């Protein structure tokens, strides 16, 4: 209401439902939208939930999440690399991603469909963070090599 996103300040049942957070979660201000960002610490991990709209997600990540990550991780580096898999079947890709993440600790892989329907293309984003850039690059390279080997085998 204060930012002009809605006309009324009333807390309707629908708004109340949208405002519920998991126990222990911390709401973070969204710099460009109405949906809150959420940070939750659980089992030694920090989880950030962001709005799914790219117009909101990018500024939220850059202005809120990255500074928080730097506080949490200290000085360090975050790197990511994108690989075109040549696959069209996300379920076949999921098995390979799981193998790589088990084999190379500290590297996160996620599938990224770039087209849909009969023209689907699947990419994989590999990401890692740590205090030593050379070590982060080494882990990503190891994961990329393993993924490439798994993609070339049936």
Is residue 4 a part of any domain in this protein?
A: no
Q: Do 140 and 92 reside in the same domain of the chain?
A: yes
Nearest by Cα to 65 from 48, 46, 42, 40: 48
Distance separating alpha carbons of residues 21 and 90, to the nearest angstrom:
31
Is 0.75 topped by the overall pTM?
Answer: no
Domain with 129, as residue range(s), is 77-152
Beta strands 77-84 and 107-115: pairing type?
Answer: unpaired
Q: How many domains does the chain have?
A: 2
- Which among 22, 40, 73 is the end of a domain? 73
Full pLDDT tens readout for the chain, 154 residues: 777 877 888 989 988 888 889 999 999 988 888 788 999 998 888 999 998 888 888 899 999 998 898 888 776 788 999 999 988 888 889 999 999 999 999 999 999 887 766 777 889 999 998 888 999 999 999 999 999 999 998 7
Domain boundary among 73, 93, 125: 73
CATH of the domain at 103: 3.30.70.600
Contact at 8 Å (CB) between 38 and 27?
A: yes
Instruction: Check whether residue 94 and residue 148 sit in a common domain.
Output: yes
Report the alpha-carbon distance of residue 106 to residue 12 in Å, rounded: 43
The Cα–Cα gap between 8 and 22 comes to: 26
Read off the tokens for 42.
């659980």
Nearest residue to 4 (alpha-carbon basis) of 28, 32, 25: 32
* Claim to verify: residue 50 and residue 93 sit in the same structural domain: no
């Amino acid at each position: 209401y204060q930012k002009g996103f809605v006309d009324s300040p009333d807390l309707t049942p629908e708004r109340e439902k949208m405002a519920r957070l998991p126990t222990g979660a911390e709401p973070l201000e969204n710099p460009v939208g109405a949906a809150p960002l959420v940070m939750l610490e659980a089992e030694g991990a920090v989880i950030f939930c962001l709005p799914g709209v790219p117009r909101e997600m990018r500024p939220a990540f850059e202005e809120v999440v990255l500074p928080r990550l730097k506080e949490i991780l200290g000085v360090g580096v975050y790197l990511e690399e994108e690989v075109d898999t040549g696959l069209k079947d996300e379920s076949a890709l999921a098995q390979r991603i799981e193998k790589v993440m088990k084999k190379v600790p500290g590297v996160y892989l996620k599938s990224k469909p770039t087209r849909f329907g009969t023209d689907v293309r699947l990419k994989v984003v590999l990401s890692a963070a740590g205090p030593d850039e050379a070590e982060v690059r080494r882990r990503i390279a190891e994961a990329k090599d393993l993924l490439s080997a798994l993609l070339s085998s049936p």
